Chains A and B, each alone.
Chain A
Amino acid sequence: MIDQLGNGLLLGIIIAMASVALSLLYGVTRIVNFAHGEIIALGAIMASYFSNPRTSRYIFFEDLSPIGLSFEISIVLAIFICGLFGALLEVLVFRPLRKNDFGNIAVLVITIGISIFLRHFFLIFASSKPQGYPLELQRREQYFIFDLTPRDAKLIVFGVIIMIIFGLFISFTKVGKQMRAVRDSNELANISGINSDNIILYTWILSSMLAGAAGIFQGMINDVRWNMGFLILLLVFAGTVLGGIGTSFGAMVGGFLIGIVVQVSVALPFMEGHSEAKNAIALSLMIFILLVRPQGIFGKKERIS
């Protein structure tokens, strides 16, 4: 089991980032965004498109070859594009829906439509073959008790740093505090003069950027695929539910735990030879938590039923 802990940390930090992003969006806008997975994938695919050399075998959109920029610049560009995409979604889709009083269920179904559309757009754009980044292979080494490649270890560290920066942002900056105010009560926030339209826009941008980063990380430990977002989406839901609604910290812990559970469960005795079902274990855990403690570990007691 200890061998898997390293992988667990890795997957954990990725799902944690994605869960925090989803949880923030839901908290502020009350939207369950089924297209969240596609924003995650967008980050990875953009990073792949920008960073792979022109001569690589990757093809985008029939015969577009990748751009061949440095990996660092590609990451920045990819995250920026995700943020931009989130902003577009809000301005072009969700704000008009909000202004026209569309109910939560209707919006949920619309996010499903967006998810299906985007995912298959990626299929056409990035082909059905798995992709990656132009990074050299590394060997695993021992970091304390964890079995990781140096890059993996860096990812975990970066991920933690990103989470800390996010935490500082949401707790201490003006915009962050306003986001929390809207999350806790939209009416009160409006009364105290907060422009909720702007806050919602910033939330979409922040959430999308964070999701994109998670996607880029995920692309480093697994392949970059057109449907990679969908594969991970349910685990991200699980992390958010497990951690609790209305709390970013909860989402982070929940996401982390789900990642660890997924990887470590492979080592359980009855799972031998059944490693593919590891996601099922994590999902079952989510359902179990919803039964016994529906508000999650850290969540406030909102009416779940």
Chain B
Amino acid sequence: MILKSKLGIGLFLISISFFGVYTLNPDGPNRILINLLTFAGIYAISAMGLNVHFGLTGLINFGHAAFMGVGAYTTILLIPHAAGREGSLNESGLPLLLAIVIGLIASALFGLIIGLPAIRLRGDYLAIVTIASSEIFRLTVRDQEEFTGGVYGVISFSDSFQNKRPKFVENLALILDVSVGQLWVAISSWVIVVLLFFILKRLQHSPWGRTLRAVREDEDAVRALGKNAVWIKLQSFMLGASIAGLSGILLAFNYGTLQVEMFVPLLTFYIWAIMILGGVGSLSGPVFGSILFWSFISETDQLASLIFENADGQQIAGVRFMLVGILIIILMVFRPSGIMGKKEELLLDVK
């Protein structure tokens, strides 16, 4: 019963935001909408990964952007691409699916590497270590130009993905009058969102999921009952990191270029905002949170350019981020359980 009304609220909010998008963008609303939905889907996947860390297991991870980055860089560098300033096309590469699988494994391994030192630390220390690790990743990638393209990034890799595009997508793109490349990313992302939802749902109530939730509740009791709390936390870290890696790969295909500056701490905080907005610990939370978040952002972008006439592009984006900051504050103070979160399962220690 409660779920119905929360679902209802969620859908209602989404309808309003779609309506807002259509109103504020009289020409080419479909393009804006598909763009919004694509980002929403990708970020929802990332938030689902973060939810495994914090929602299921109680781990404070402020380095999520790096997990997305590891997945993206590993996969993209394994398929045909052009990296760096000289940017000569590297024609050889692995088949896409294999590259993606390796990317997911790489993210999981990175999760393991960061987790090993970090996982024994208390909450606020874990926060600092994860964000520091994320920055170390970013600085290293930026530095190693021969491998990663450094500040110049990587391009010319989208073909591997767009080649797999089925015919109906092209027809659909014509009908809707949207970019066919992005539509393909959007559809793929949302298919993955749905799949992930059911996988995570099964895992949450499974014996394995129970161990994660128990660790979230009380580590000492977990140990006293014979289970290795550290290993459980590491597994959680790896799974969430892997999911984030997948979202990073999709993000790269969405932009068509891979830039290390995509994976800055602000990205991590976006995902946190989405997770909190949608409801920590809730399976459908990331979905609702992400759609609402992105609608909110695209609408405020429009409003900002109306208000600030002399501002440059960066400053308009500044308004968007200011509002994200305010959103986080307001959420935490007034509705930390988000849209879909249950009060009994309230995770952020607000009393």
Contact = CB atoms under 8 A, between A and B. Distances in A.
Query: Does a CB–CB distance below 8 Å link A and B in the complex?
Result: yes
Given A101-B351, A109-B328, A62 B60 contact: no
B131 interface: yes
Interface of B: 60, 117-118, 120-125, 127-129, 131-133, 135-136, 139-140, 142-143, 265-266, 269, 272, 276, 308, 310-312, 314-315, 317-322, 324-329, 332-333, 336, 348-351
Contact of A114 (B272, B315, B329): B329
Interface in A94-122: 97, 100-106, 108-110, 112-121
Contact of B321 (A62, A105, A119): A119
B136 A280 contact: yes
20 contacts: A101-B351, A102-B350, A105-B348, A106-B348, A113-B328, A114-B329, A116-B322, A116-B328, A121-B318, A123-B318, A124-B318, A128-B314, A237-B128, A241-B125, A277-B142, A277-B143, A279-B139, A280-B139, A283-B136, A284-B136
Contacts of B329: 110, 113-114, 117
A105 B129 contact: no
Interface centre among B131, B348, B350 (most CB of A within 10 A): B350
B278 to A, nearest CB: 15
A105 B127 CA distance: 10
A286 B124 contact: no
A116 to B, nearest CB: 4
B123 A105 contact: yes
A127 interface: yes
A55 interface: no
A223 to B, nearest CB: 15
B132 A234 contact: yes
A105 B61 CA distance: 12
Interface of A: 32, 62-63, 97, 100-106, 108-110, 112-121, 123-124, 127-128, 230, 234, 237-238, 241, 274, 276-277, 279-280, 283-284, 286-287, 290-291, 294, 303-305
A287 B132 contact: yes
B140 A277 contact: yes
Nearest to A123: B318
Nearest to B132: A283
A114 B118 CA distance: 26
Given A109-B276, A116-B322, A294-B121, 6 more contacts: A103-B351, A110-B329, A119-B321, A279-B139, A290-B117, A305-B120
B309 to A, nearest CB: 8
Given A102-B351, A117-B322, A121-B322, A108 B328 contact: no
Contacts of B310: 62-63
Interface centre among A112, A119, A241, A276 (most CB of B within 10 A): A112
A277 B138 CA distance: 9
A287 B135 CA distance: 12
B261 to A, nearest CB: 12
Contact of B314 (A97, A123, A286): A123
A290 B125 contact: yes
Contacts of A290: 117, 121, 125, 129
A102 B276 CA distance: 16
Nearest to B316: A124
A287 to B, nearest CB: 6
